[in-house]
Chains A and B, each alone.
Chain A
Amino acid sequence: MIALVAVALFTNTTQVESIAVAGAFLWAATGGGVEEYALPGGDRRRLYTTLDGLPSNLVLRVWHDGSLHVRTAGAACVLGRDRFDCAPAPPLARELPAPGQRYRGARETGRIAWGRHLIVATSEGVFLDGRRLTPEGQVCGNQISALAAYDGRVWAGSFDQGLCVLEGGAWRTPRTPFGMVNDLCPTPRGLYVAAAEGLFLTRDGRTFRREWRVRQRGANRLAASHRWLLVTTPASLYAVRLEGRDIVKRFRRPGGSTALQAVALNGAEIWLASEDRGIIRMRGQKFEIFDKAAGLPSSWMVDVAPSRDGGIWAATLRDGAVELGRDGQLRAALRPDAWGLRLYRDGERVLFGTQQGLEGAGPTALPNPHVHALLRTGDVLWIGTEGGLVQQLSR
């Protein structure tokens, strides 16, 4: 049994949905929790998150009527001594489509005149008299879709806000030619980034070049051995040689699939997860299909991870995860009611990130139940969710 302790949570508060002022305090409801700033200086005093009683880090409204109230999509909360107390609440009224006010190029979401000062909330942070208060050094997004350890540091890829690296306790977000990160893969050649905009490589973490031989945009997932990097795009599997001669092989529509998702290596075998052909095993140049017609619960697979005995774990879209042995026979099933997102081989065990939480890691306090990315660095388990990045010490 693994015990998970000492939680740290990283969120991003750039997207501000609403602001309120009372006395000499400013509160901002953001995509990464509720911020409290002291006025008129504008120093951030506190960030309230799910660790402080909020049911979600995506906070949509904030107001002050003697007490501080906030709304999330499904709850109404009031700040007590040090924590929020929350109760279920009906959904908020939808915002009607209309041209909006822009402030410094960003969508304005709130504006308050405080004495002679002007406070503006935007989709790019909160501003006091034109000065941005939202702190720098935050994780690059609240939905973390990929994690990797490269060059002695932890890298996080976000759903639509690019890539960032943890350096000296703060996150640095380099300028990148991509925004929508699907996967990260450290190799001796550098850190590869699979993004909706294509496959990219960085050696220094600051400059990124596109690997143009992977022609399609929409690089989905990556896997690497010592010699090869494997890349999936929707309709092709690419093999990029990492050492020796510079070779790129392309396998079009492997197993007939035009909707490839993930790739994993186990020994000499390559396993693919696809939306339309289930699990595809590549042996030599031949492809074998394991899908619903073969008796599996689904043909829609979202991820694969090697199992201990040379077989494969596969996560389905909404029928849990299954384990196939090397012989292709179904060995085990996990959480058959879960919507699968990510599998991660953690030593001898496999962790299963789902839309209903994390399986296989014991009790975990997650800011959001949708687990998209996992990474082990020593005693620390990093868990990327749709509501922030969790750092948990496990022993």
Chain B
Amino acid sequence: MSRLAATKRGRFTYIESPEVIEQRVGRLFEQIESPALVGLSLEARGATLIRTYPRSLPDLSAGDDLLIATRVMGASGSTLELVVHGTLAGRQVSFPVSVALPEAALHPWAGRVWARSRIDDALEEIALGGDRPELRDEVVELGVAYNLVTPYTSFLAVPASELSEQQASTLAEMRQQRARALAADEDAAVLSRRNMPPGDPMLTVDAPQDALQVTAYFPFGLVKDLKWDAGLRKWSLRFLVPLGVADGEYEAVVVIVKRDRTVEFARASYVIDSKAPDFEVDAARGVTGVHLRVIASEPSRRAVAALADDPRRRVELSSSDGRVFEGDLPANGRVRVVVSDLARNETSREVDPR
């Protein structure tokens, strides 16, 4: 019925108990009687959309959400223009949006949303056309990769001790697949700052609000539960990176136990960097002042040059790559140059223009 309704731009409403019949039917009539935006279609320019769900876009009435899940084939760095066309109060309307295609997925939940939609679609296909091995395999692979429980992966929620040898072997193999799939989901857990000296960053984790446990394990021994933040709609934790932690790249591991007892791991990497950056500077006297060219030894945030004896006269040097900074200081005299790296460590150097 769901597939039929979608194909014919209709609505499928599931009424789970007799108590809610009146409420559900009332809402359905409201929606049918007063569609606000009808005849919707989706146009994509600059990339190709595949396996887009829902297969046909429904009419929308006031208060409705429309979530479209799709896979995009396009060159990274290019721009995808999406336009939703429709009719609003008898007038043709369009809602365009531009998206720069990144090299890698920016939001791990996006893949999960699409996977859920694809699984639902495949399950409908199976229900309509019978069990097909290729569809069943796809459901299982997506279910394992994104930790979604499906009729074919319900064993994910069973304690390992109760699995048969065959199931345990399948599960181990699929978890390896899942680990590979999740390798692209590194930002499921994110820190408020990635590069830093010792300090007090915030860790936020995308996990369901009703998760039974969201616990972070830090490499310096701290184990701490995250709390649900209703404002962010994420789990969050503030923690201290103590003084004395050696510079390097670290990873906090977050254990998420969901309501259905499935377990996920999220990881947040961060760099402790307490060393000041090194840089070379060339200052050349010109007609109107000093031209400065700074080459930093590591990716840097910022470079500033100021007249040493009157630092209010200063210039922010510009850079396109975070390594080479250039600019003109409209004054002559000894110049103090300060470079800040990604962790805001600073180095200062004074130079006399040549």
* A residues whose Cβ falls under 8 Å from a Cβ of B: 73, 91-92, 94-100, 102, 106-107, 123, 143, 159-160, 179-180, 196-198, 217, 275-276, 288, 291-295, 298-300, 317-318, 339, 355, 386
- Bound complex: CA A295 to CA B336 (Å): 8
B213–A98 CB distance below 8 A: no
With contacts A100-B213, A197-B231, A198-B231 taken as known, whether A92 is within 8 angstroms of B237 at the C-beta atoms is no
At the interface, is chain B mostly helix, strand, loop or mixed? Answer: strand
At the interface, is chain A mostly helix, strand, loop or mixed? Answer: loop
CB-nearest residue of chain A relative to B336?
A293
CB-nearest residue of chain B relative to A106?
B225
Q: Is B304 an interface residue (CB 8 A)?
A: yes
B residues near A197, Cβ cutoff 8 Å: 229, 231
User: Which of B10-18, B28-36, B117-125, B338-346 has 4 or more CB atoms under 8 Å from chain A?
Assistant: B338-346
- Bound complex: CA A318 to CA B273 (Å): 13
A residues near B70, Cβ cutoff 8 Å: none
With contacts A97-B253, A386-B240 taken as known, whether A298 is within 8 angstroms of B346 at the C-beta atoms is yes
Q: Is B312 an interface residue (CB 8 A)?
A: yes
- Bound complex: CA A90 to CA B298 (Å): 34
Q: Is B311 an interface residue (CB 8 A)?
A: yes
A160–B253 CB distance below 8 A: no
A275–B344 CB distance below 8 A: yes
* Interface residue ranges of B46-96 to A (CB < 8 Å): none
A100–B346 CB distance below 8 A: no
**Within the complex, which residue of A107, A217, A275, A386 is in contact with B213, where a contact is CB–CB below 8 Å?**
A107
Q: Considering the complex of A and B, which 5 residue pairs feature the smallest CB-CB distances, nearest first? A: A294-B311, A293-B306, A97-B217, A97-B253, A293-B338
CB-nearest residue of chain A relative to B257?
A99
B residues near A143, Cβ cutoff 8 Å: 240
B residues near A386, Cβ cutoff 8 Å: 240
Q: Separation in Å of the A62 CB from the closest CB of chain B?
A: 17
Q: Is B300 an interface residue (CB 8 A)?
A: no
With contacts A107-B213, A160-B238 taken as known, whether A292 is within 8 angstroms of B255 at the C-beta atoms is no
With contacts A196-B202, A198-B231, A293-B338 taken as known, whether A99 is within 8 angstroms of B348 at the C-beta atoms is no
Q: Separation in Å of the A384 CB from the closest CB of chain B?
A: 14
B304–A293 CB distance below 8 A: yes
**Within the complex, which residue of A96, A160, A276, A299 is in contact with B237, where a contact is CB–CB below 8 Å?**
A160
With contacts A98-B255, A197-B229 taken as known, whether A293 is within 8 angstroms of B197 at the C-beta atoms is no
**Within the complex, which residue of A96, A179, A180 is in contact with B217, where a contact is CB–CB below 8 Å?**
A96
- Bound complex: CA A285 to CA B289 (Å): 29
A295–B311 CB distance below 8 A: yes
With contacts A99-B213, A276-B340, A294-B306 taken as known, whether A180 is within 8 angstroms of B238 at the C-beta atoms is yes
A-B contact pairs, 22 of them (CB 8 A): A91-B221, A95-B223, A96-B217, A97-B215, A97-B217, A97-B254, A99-B213, A99-B255, A99-B263, A100-B215, A102-B213, A160-B238, A180-B238, A196-B202, A217-B232, A276-B301, A293-B311, A293-B314, A293-B337, A294-B306, A295-B336, A299-B340
- Total A-B Cβ pairs within 8 A: 86
* Interface residue ranges of B213-268 to A (CB < 8 Å): 213, 215, 217, 219, 221, 223, 225, 227, 229, 231-232, 237-238, 240, 243, 253-255, 257, 263, 265
- Bound complex: CA A299 to CA B344 (Å): 9
CB-nearest residue of chain A relative to B347?
A292
**Within the complex, which residue of B217, B257, B346 is in contact with A299, where a contact is CB–CB below 8 Å?**
B346
B residues near A292, Cβ cutoff 8 Å: 338, 346, 348
Q: Separation in Å of the B13 CB from the closest CB of chain A?
A: 35
With contacts A100-B215, A107-B213 taken as known, whether A276 is within 8 angstroms of B344 at the C-beta atoms is yes
Contact with A along B320-354 (1 / 0, CB 8 A): 00000000000000001110100010101000000
Q: Is B305 an interface residue (CB 8 A)?
A: yes
B221–A94 CB distance below 8 A: yes
- Bound complex: CA A345 to CA B198 (Å): 26
B215–A339 CB distance below 8 A: no
B348–A123 CB distance below 8 A: no
- Bound complex: CA A386 to CA B200 (Å): 12
List 17 extra interface pairs beyond A293-B337, A294-B311, CB under 8 A: A92-B221, A94-B217, A94-B219, A97-B253, A98-B255, A102-B212, A159-B240, A160-B227, A197-B229, A217-B231, A217-B232, A276-B302, A291-B304, A292-B338, A293-B306, A293-B336, A299-B340
Q: Separation in Å of the A146 CB from the closest CB of chain B?
A: 14
CB-nearest residue of chain A relative to B265?
A97
CB-nearest residue of chain B relative to A292?
B338
With contacts A95-B217, A198-B231, A293-B305 taken as known, whether A107 is within 8 angstroms of B225 at the C-beta atoms is yes
CB-nearest residue of chain A relative to B192?
A218
A291–B338 CB distance below 8 A: yes
- Bound complex: CA A145 to CA B215 (Å): 23
A residues near B243, Cβ cutoff 8 Å: 339, 355
CB-nearest residue of chain B relative to A180?
B238
Q: Separation in Å of the B269 CB from the closest CB of chain A?
A: 14
A residues near B237, Cβ cutoff 8 Å: 160
B residues near A288, Cβ cutoff 8 Å: 312
CB-nearest residue of chain B relative to A369?
B243
B346–A300 CB distance below 8 A: yes
A residues near B232, Cβ cutoff 8 Å: 217
CB-nearest residue of chain A relative to B252?
A97
CB-nearest residue of chain B relative to A95?
B223
A299–B255 CB distance below 8 A: no
A residues near B302, Cβ cutoff 8 Å: 276
A196–B238 CB distance below 8 A: yes
Contact with A along B288-320 (1 / 0, CB 8 A): 000000000000011011101001101000000
A residues near B301, Cβ cutoff 8 Å: 276
- Bound complex: CA A292 to CA B314 (Å): 12
- Bound complex: CA A275 to CA B195 (Å): 14
A residues near B215, Cβ cutoff 8 Å: 97, 100, 107
- Bound complex: CA A317 to CA B202 (Å): 18
CB-nearest residue of chain A relative to B221?
A94
A residues near B308, Cβ cutoff 8 Å: 295
A73–B346 CB distance below 8 A: no
Contact with A along B118-144 (1 / 0, CB 8 A): 000000000000000000000000000
A residues near B221, Cβ cutoff 8 Å: 73, 91-92, 94-95
CB-nearest residue of chain B relative to A15?
B224
B238–A159 CB distance below 8 A: yes
- Bound complex: CA A102 to CA B229 (Å): 20
- Bound complex: CA A292 to CA B336 (Å): 9
- Bound complex: CA A276 to CA B340 (Å): 9
- Bound complex: CA A269 to CA B54 (Å): 59
B338–A317 CB distance below 8 A: no
**Within the complex, which residue of B227, B257, B336, B348 is in contact with A179, where a contact is CB–CB below 8 Å?**
B227
B residues near A298, Cβ cutoff 8 Å: 346
- Bound complex: CA A298 to CA B340 (Å): 10
A residues near B340, Cβ cutoff 8 Å: 276, 299
